[in-house]
């Protein structure tokens, strides 16, 4: 069953995020991710859907209707809440401060566009149509928000590129992000 993220799902969602996604949020660690998803429940621009079966989260997806300033907004609005996991992470990994600052150069953070931020299906549940269902939930949510197009990015090395093409997204552009080729897809609501 596809439904919106609830606070009680966060432990499972974070585990999935950490295990299956290699992006910068994963690098910030589990305590940060837990707080990030908790805080996201109060950010109207952001939404997360989960596929749940008997209390098990099999996959989830997050989208945002406006990318500009999203992370700054999340972090600075909740600085007292997020500062402890962030500082603990940077004390253990001081060189990551520079990388994290470079992440803010991600093009969508200066543009104001709707974006599918994450889409993950548990490894043993992949290729059973869950990714498509979750993608559809995001697409419908954007439609409700009167947004006819949205974007999604994927590192070139990821098999997910094949999924996005299969599902009907079109390559809009590619760019170099933190030393790796990243593809940016444009997707339309049905």
Nearer to ligand COA, 94 or 159 (CB): 159
Q: How far is the CB of 105 from ligand COA (least distance, A)?
A: 18
Helix, strand, coil % in the chain, rounded to nearest 5: 45, 25, 25
Euclidean distance between CA atoms 149 and 143, whole angstroms: 8
Cα torsion 118, 21, 10, 59: sign? positive
CB of 55 to ligand COA, least distance (A): 19
Residues that bind ligand COA (CB under 6 A): 20-21, 119-121, 126-132, 154, 158-160, 162-163, 166-167
| 25/74 with CB nearer ligand COA | 25
Please choose, from the candidates 149, 128, 180, 170, the residue with its C-alpha nearest in 3D space to the C-alpha of residue 63: 149
Q: How far is the CB of 164 from ligand COA (least distance, A)?
A: 8
50 vs 119 by CB, closer to ligand COA: 119
């Amino acid at each position: 069953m596809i439904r919106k993220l609830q606070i009680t799902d966060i432990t499972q969602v974070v585990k999935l995020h950490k295990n299956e996604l290699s992006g910068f949020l994963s690098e910030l660690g589990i305590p940060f991710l837990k707080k990030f998803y908790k805080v996201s429940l109060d950010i109207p621009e952001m939404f997360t859907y989960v596929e749940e079966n008997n209390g098990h989260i099999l996959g989830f997806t997050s989208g945002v209707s406006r990318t500009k300033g999203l992370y700054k907004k999340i972090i600075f609005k909740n600085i007292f809440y997020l500062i402890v996991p962030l500082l603990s992470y940077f004390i253990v990994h001081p060189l990551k401060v520079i990388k994290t600052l470079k992440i803010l150069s991600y093009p969508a953070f200066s543009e104001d566009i709707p974006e599918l931020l994450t889409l993950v299906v548990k490894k043993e549940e992949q290729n059973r149509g869950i990714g498509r269902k979750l993608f559809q939930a995001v697409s419908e949510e954007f439609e409700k928000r009167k947004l006819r197009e949205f974007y999604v990015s994927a590192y070139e090395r990821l098999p997910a590129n094949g999924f996005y093409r299969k599902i009907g997204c079109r390559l809009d552009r590619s760019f170099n992000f933190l030393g790796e080729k990243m593809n940016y897809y444009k997707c339309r609501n049905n």
